[in-house]
Amino acid sequence: MKTQRSIQFQAHCACFAAYAIFGFNIVICKDLTSGRYISPLAIFTVRALCAAAVFWLLSIFNGRIVSDSGSVRSERPGVRRFAGIELRDLPKILCASFLGFFVTQLTFLMAIPQVTPMTCSIISSLSPVYTMFIAAVAIKEPLTWKKAIGVAVSFAGILFLIVSSAHPSASGTVANSVQGIMLMLANGIAFSLYLGVFKPLISKYPVVDFMKWIFTFSILMSLPFSARELLSAGWGSFPSSFWLELSFLVVFATVLSYYLIPYGQKHLRPTLVSMYSYVQPIVATLISIVIGMDMLDWQKVLSAVMVFGGVVMVNRSKGAAVRN
């Protein structure tokens, strides 16, 4: 029988692994969304189709509804269910799918061709700030002056990144577009809303049952707009690198990560889950510099210091401590 401490340790490991994978994914998707293959919307649809198939198969082979702790979940009499989910919760899961996967991943795939991996990872580290605002509204977590100053410093760092991105780099090219930065900001806000607003719903169901519906609804949202492109794409002409990158995106950055994140959400508070977003920029920055995809300049360093410094102020502020 698992103890509460061991379950929480596993939840911490799950969040760490998921955000490390997201860091790798920033670099992988930079090439995958370069425009040489298929559009971001088509890539998104392929992710959803593959992930939905995997989670539906897992739910079938499970044979019965089992919770993550290993015990069979009791079903309330008189409550109508379909494929492991109470019918009245399906509209809520539709909204969770829209925020947690459709908006989050589509904005990411649209943004990544327009920003460098380092810029993408810097903006992604704002997740705890978004979560703080959501917690203030949802659970009345107090806002302090230190938090307010931290938020101001973080967003000043993002503003500086936007302004400095408008000027050509040493090579004469503009590596980041304002549109790309705005899409990444929207990405972070949507995912933080998903983490905070839908935690009770996520905790209610086994991960497999919940995620199969998340991806099913995502298919319904994207397929009508991408079906023609998917049918006409020259799949046979794509190089092996495309298939390797797509496989990583589907297997690790979609199926595995979106299994691990809900597991962490079940056992940790949203503010603590969002803290693991710090892992993502570290991994993405190191990899992108090592392989020569990005370079470190003083503007990015200053932006990163301002963003991280502001986030640290928010999290260390009195009343911002996360306890489990």
Number of domains the chain contains: 1
134 part of a folded domain: yes
Residue 9 lies in a domain: yes
Write down the pLDDT at residue 95. Answer: 94
Interval 76-101 mean pLDDT: 84
Overall pTM > 0.95: no
Would residue 209 count as lying in a domain? yes
Give the integer Cα–Cα distance in Å for 203 and 267.
8
pLDDT in tens, 8-66: 888 888 988 998 898 888 888 888 887 788 999 999 999 999 999 999 998 887 654 44
Cα–Cα distance measured from residue 324 to residue 322, given in angstroms and rounded to the nearest whole number: 7
Q: Is residue 177 part of a domain?
A: yes
- For the ranges 138-142, 249-253, 315-319, the one whose mean pLDDT is highest: 249-253
In a domain, 271, yes or no: yes
Domain that holds residue 111: 4-66+83-316
pLDDT tens track for 259-285: 888 888 777 776 667 667 777 777 887
Q: How many helices (H) and strands (E) does the chain have?
A: 15, 2
The mean of the pLDDT values for the chain is: 79
Give me the pLDDT at residue 142, please.
67
> Which pLDDT belongs to residue 49?
95
Residue 255's contacts (CB-CB under 8 Å, 6 or more residues apart) are 50, 51, 54, 55
